[in-house]
């Protein structure tokens, strides 16, 4: 398949994205939005020092983000390396929280395809509900789009019933035109979700970059009738930012995408500020963060 370049109006995207930072959401709408944001969060532990104890803590935090469970829902998923998938499945059994696994040589993707596919197969065999793969950015930036497409399609095939999230690392790709192109390639080759970043570099998610991807999802839906999910990841830390993203999703894609099935936040540190804000709305006082699970 030949992939055509899509020209993105950079000035227009930046101006429209900036408008979402100026919206004021209060009262019941704010409370609803904050709880919705919690239900869309993927909590992650992706370090070389990950232990069973750290995983147990993360799973408990995902199931019960606040001291009083009635105040907010559970998170959407816990995301771990493949070797921790089996243990996470046991810890989360019956909770409704999904287990996601970064595979395909996260975060670089710099190993042969068959090795990456074996990693996906292992994660799926351990019970992963979702696979977060990274594209071969070197191939993409070098213009080898057929290779990128083939690898996404190959990963999707070995995912089986597990949903596939395709990570672009937008901070490395850079230009909006290229981000839109990566979005189109991923969607046309089986991605269930498109995702901005690994969270491992400083230039991660942003409103303008996410808007480019959301508009790609919108256009793909108009062309095919297929709904693709979106996951901004990295750098989203405050409740105010989370609400800005939700407004952007609603105004770009509509209410159908305001669900964990089609939108996720990859931002573990975001949970603390959002739950503090929910507590403030509930009893009128800012809580001490010592009483909340920290990322």
| Active-site residue set | 132, 195, 231
Q: How many CA atoms lie within 13 A of 119 on its CB side?
A: 22
Q: CA-CA distance, 147 to 138, in Å (whole number)?
A: 11
First CA to last CA across the chain, in angstroms? 43
Range list of β-strands (E), 169-215:
193-195
Neighbour order of strands in the sheet with 42-44: 42-44, 77-80, 98-102, 130-134, 163-167, 193-195, 229-231
Q: CA-CA distance, 252 to 170, in Å (whole number)?
A: 20
* Coil, helix or strand at residue 233: strand
Q: CA-CA distance, 220 to 110, in Å (whole number)?
A: 29
Which residues lie across from 89 on neighbouring strands? none
- The secondary structure of residue 190, as a DSSP letter, is T
As a whole number of Å, the CA-based R_g of the chain is 18
Instruction: Work out the burial of residue 45: count CB atoms within 10 Å of its CB; fewer than 13 is exposed, 13-18 middle, 19 or more buried.
Output: buried
Per the CB < 8 A criterion, the answer to whether 264 and 41 are in contact is yes
Q: CA-CA distance, 19 to 248, in Å (whole number)?
A: 9
Instruction: Work out the burial of residue 283: count CB atoms within 10 Å of its CB; fewer than 13 is exposed, 13-18 middle, 19 or more buried.
Output: exposed
Instruction: To the nearest 10°, report the CA torsion of 63, 66, 69, 75.
Output: -30
């Amino acid at each position: 398949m030949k992939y055509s370049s899509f020209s993105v109006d950079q000035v227009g995207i930046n101006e429209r994205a900036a408008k979402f930072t100026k919206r004021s959401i209060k009262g019941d709408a704010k409370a609803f939005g904050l709880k919705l944001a919690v239900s869309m969060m993927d909590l992650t532990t992706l370090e070389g020092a990950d232990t069973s104890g750290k995983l147990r803590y993360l799973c408990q935090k995902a199931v019960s983000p606040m001291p009083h469970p009635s105040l907010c829902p559970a998170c959407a998923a816990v995301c771990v390396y493949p070797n921790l998938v089996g243990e996470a499945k046991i810890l989360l059994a019956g909770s409704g929280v999904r287990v996601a696994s970064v595979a395909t040589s996260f975060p670089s993707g710099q190993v042969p395809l068959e090795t990456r596919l074996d990693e996906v197969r292992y994660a799926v065999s351990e019970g992963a509900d979702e696979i977060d793969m990274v594209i071969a950015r070197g191939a993409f930036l070098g213009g080898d789009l057929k290779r990128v497409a083939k690898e996404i399609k190959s990963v999707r095939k070995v995912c089986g019933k597990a949903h596939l999230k395709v990570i672009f690392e937008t901070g490395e790709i850079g230009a909006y035109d290229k981000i839109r192109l990566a979005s189109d390639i991923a969607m046309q080759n089986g991605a269930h979700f498109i995702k901005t970043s690994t969270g491992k570099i400083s230039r991660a998610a942003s409103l303008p970059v996410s808007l480019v991807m959301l508009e790609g999802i919108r256009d793909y839906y108009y062309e095919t009738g297929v709904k693709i999910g979106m996951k901004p990841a990295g750098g989203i830390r405050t409740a105010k930012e989370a609400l800005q993203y939700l407004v952007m999703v609603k105004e770009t894609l509509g209410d159908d995408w305001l669900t964990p099935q089609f939108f996720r936040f990859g931002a573990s540190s975001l949970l603390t500020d959002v739950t503090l804000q929910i507590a403030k709305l509930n009893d009128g006082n800012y809580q001490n963060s010592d009483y909340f699970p920290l990322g």
